[in-house]
Amino acid sequence: MMLSISEALNKAHHQLMEADERVIVMGEDIVGGAGLGKGEGLGGVFGVTSGLVDKFGANRVIDTPISETAFVGMGIGSAMTGLKPIVEVMFCDFMGVCFDQIFNQAAKVRLLSGGRISMPMVIRTTLGAGDSSGAMHSQALHGLLATVPGLKVACPSNPADAAGLLKTALEDNDPVILMEHKGLYSLEGEVADDLPLIPLGEGQVIREGCDITIVAVSRMVHVANQVADVLAQDGVEVEIIDPRTIMPLDMNLILKSVQKTGKLLVVDESFGFAEMVISRVSEEGFGALKAAPKKVIPLHTPIPYAPDLEQEWLPSKAQVVTAVKELVGE
């Protein structure tokens, strides 16, 4: 069936909560409409949690105060005591408010307890620029979060992956950050009715090619695919790798592709992820490289609010085309 990313995530929430009464959901405005005369169950800003409170009740679908420190901490405590919380942080920018809970508590619980305490918690959050939301609502922090030992980080680019990664993440004993691009929620794709699980750490070849490898996640997967369509007209065959999870990272898949193409370009909307991929390929697959790897990432400045400046800040198709042509020698 065809579902958007928001619809697939909503369906996954319903399936998870139906299957296990230990699954709870919490976050700001996840019920939506309460006290506003608009009824409940609207599902928050992006509609992902629509209908959950009507079906499972306010004891399992918890609208929280505007305090990420408080409700992320509540999620950690509930996971430690046997529940399976899905915690929604509306924008990943707001993780700055509760970073102590995430990297000093959630990420370290299993280690500091000697493995006696598990942390089956998923933090769902959004990332991404492109809609003029400004510097505090548009960041892509997956590169930063992936550097924290104990955290797992996933960045789906399509509906099936979004739902499958959410279901897999909740079964993991470590905290998983599921980062959903807010510009992709309406993107539709084919999804199996049972929403099959997507293993963490298992990437996917989106497009096969022999001239160059592009590694991209989230919205940049679609930018890379558009570029590949353009370059194919000039006889350049691009291979696109979507890692899906960036921690753990499917280096075997990336290295296999680079061994075939000899060229690597990383296209990303964050800081840190491209550098991580290039560093590891240089260390583990240097002999396969026929040219120095390149990256196309944003300017290292806060994200501008003005639409024209924001578009200049974001990686563009033109930049990716230029980088590919430089690498393949055209």
Which helix (H) or strand (E) segment is 239 a member of? strand 238-242
Of 13, 137, 142, 222, the active-site residue reads 137
Phi, psi of 45 (to 5 degrees): -60, -40
Burial degree of 202 (CB within 10 A; 0-12, 13-18, 19+): middle
Cβ 232 vs Cβ 106: under 8 Å: no
Please tell me the distance from the alpha carbon of residue 119 to that of residue 29, in angstroms, as a whole number.
24
To the nearest 10°, the Cα dihedral for 272, 275, 281, 282?
-150
Residue tagged 């305490």 (tokens): 117
Identify whether 300 is a catalytic site residue. no
* 3-class state of residue 83 by DSSP: coil
- Cα 122 from chain centre: 12
- Residues 67/74, Cβ–Cβ less than 8 Å: no
Place of tokens 């510097």: 135
The β-bridge relationship of strands 188-190 and 212-216 is: unpaired
- Catalytic positions: 137
